[in-house]
Structure 1
């Protein structure tokens, strides 16, 4: 089943990364919403705002809520998560994959690998949109 909702959320504390990923994904016809932190992303979801992503690309290492914590909170919704990180720690990678990560990529990102991971994630079924704004604590 292919998701008809092709909004991808990009969560990264680096504005230049958010901007570059938004341009890249737009060039493939994918709508993007960007967030500077895990807290901002979760706040938007819990507020019932119109952003209900089909996939989340998240930087593992961020101040506040890091990628693994974001995955823990979003996991029950079924929204696939693609991790990106500068520090490839095998223990962290293993934990993310065991929790169902749709991808785990090292920075600097290989554009083709990122697009493949996102396209794969967009093909995964996602729970009903009404379930996306619950269970974020």
Structure 2
């Protein structure tokens, strides 16, 4: 089990990235408020470490929101044009024991690497790890992760 008790997946995920966004909580809030006003539920919000006054930040949403995302982008685009891409799946590793388990992420990433699966985005909390991967890799990813965490 190694801290993970459940693995789930979700298909048809859309990734939106803002490269070179202004490094400030206000700027990030303004970006996200545009999508909130458009009624778009965002998930997997991820920010890079700052580079001077800039950061890259991304979020995911269901591909069902594609049209609304595209309509909202002009209001959210600031310094650099955003990047939008689809064809992803989100894999969730969950376990209450993750809080006290060492090496959960290392085990997951190693299993995926050995299967040749690239990770596009990672977010974590105390109880889960969310991994964004290419949708065509979903079945293999689920198999190798279930084996790696003795859930198969």
Per the TM superposition, whether the score is higher than 0.5 is no
Q: Which has the higher strand share?
A: 2
TM-score by length of 2: 0.27
User: Which structure would you say has the larger RCO, counting Cα contacts within 8 Å and 6 or more residues apart?
Assistant: 2
Structure 1 or 2, whichever has the larger Rg, is 2
